[in-house]
Amino acid sequence: MGIASVQHILLVTSQSDERLEHYRRTDLGWLFTSHLRTDAVKLGAIEVSLAVDDVYDRIPAEPPPPPKTDDGPA
């Protein structure tokens, strides 16, 4: 059972992957597309086009990993 009014679902992947996963409801079920940073996602149900670049420009960069320490015997 689902929510009939939901027409689009967008998932934002990690900062290092930089793509959007778009699920769009059709008469036959859900259609999946993956959009890279240079793409735009069209949300027809609300007549909006969303540039993937714009989404990632607003997400802070991932912090660098912590420095490695040598915990071995001295």
User: In the numeric block, which tokens belong to residue 71?
Assistant: 């915990």
Domain ranges of the chain: 8-57
Buried b (16+ CB within 10 A) or exposed e, 4-20: eeeebeeeeeeeeebbb
Q: Which of 31, 64, 35 is nearest to 45 (CA)?
A: 31
Q: Is the pLDDT of residue 59 over 60?
A: yes
Q: Is the pLDDT of residue 1 over 90?
A: no
Residue 33's pLDDT is 96
User: In the numeric block, which tokens belong to residue 15?
Assistant: 């900062």
Q: Is the pLDDT of residue 44 over 80?
A: yes
Tens-place pLDDT, residues 2-40: 677 899 999 988 777 888 999 999 999 999 999 998 999
